[in-house]
A = this chain, B = another copy of it.
Amino acid sequence: MSEEELRKILQDVKKGKITIAQAVEKFKDFSATDLGFAMIDHHRELRTGYPEIIFGSGKTPEQMCCIVELMMKKGNNILATRCSREQFAAVKQICKEACYHEVAGIISIKQKEVEQTKTYIAVITAGTSDIGVAEEAAVTAEFFGNKVKRIYDVGVAGIHRLFKRLPEIRGARVCVVIAGMEGALPSVVGGLVSKPVIAVPTSIGYGANFQGLSALLGMLTSCANGVAVVNINNGFGAGYMASMINKL
């Protein structure tokens, strides 16, 4: 909005050519169509009422409680990832409603209802060691109101296990596929379904695994289409992304 445009509006207001309400509208128009930056504010407001997210890793129980208390006042639901049992014990003291999802390492606090989706997200793992990351994805997605179907331990070294669960996998609106080691499962799933696949490499493995690098590179270079990748062990990010897609 140039100074000329600003002066024009003000003069019109002064001369009574337009009402104040009309002027306000004009400002809104500008912000929405020309400037963009006002959108920032809109956006922030839209966010009010949204769940709050805490990354628990490395925070003391006291710090956790402090943050949770602050957030609870806004009346929103709260999700804290990478939390220990100790952190939960502290939070439970100040908030009776707090739940602990042990395998996922997640603390959740529900202060208001979330609308549930009709369609579901399939959360699939190659091995049993990947279940911690899978639960982080699954609990995150459920927290945002998604139905989730867990399909665990169906890795490619015994591929008949995967085929037995194919109908369930194909029924999903979006798949989260979690694997360590060579990270081959998302490629196989991506070739069997026609839905978006969010691939999560895990650091499960040793040696040439290099803390998840082998699975990460494998997923990024997948020969199947419709596969996109999040960070190593990032179950939360996959659950969040899948929720975004499932709610479209």
Q: Is A80 an interface residue (CB 8 A)?
A: no
In the bound complex, residues from chain B placing their C-beta under 8 Å from that of A203 are: 207
The reply to whether A217 and B164 form a contact with Cβ atoms under 8 Å apart is no
Report the separation of the CA atoms of residues A248 and B118 in the bound assembly, to the nearest whole angstrom: 13
Of the candidates B32, B40, B207, B222, the one whose C-beta lies within 8 Å of that of A233 is: B207
Q: Is A137 an interface residue (CB 8 A)?
A: no
- The size bracket of the interface on A is 35 or more
Which residues in A have some Cβ–Cβ distance to B below 8 Å? 3, 6-7, 10-11, 13-14, 16, 20, 23-24, 27, 32-37, 39-41, 43-44, 46, 53, 57-58, 126-127, 129, 155-160, 162-167, 170, 173-174, 181-184, 187-188, 190-192, 194-196, 198, 201, 203, 205-234, 237-238, 240-241, 244-245, 248
- A selection of 10 A-B contacts at a CB cut-off of 8 Å is A13-B14, A34-B164, A155-B223, A183-B184, A184-B223, A196-B248, A207-B232, A209-B217, A220-B231, A248-B248
A-B pairs, top 4 by smallest CB distance, nearest first, are A207-B232, A184-B184, A36-B166, A228-B228
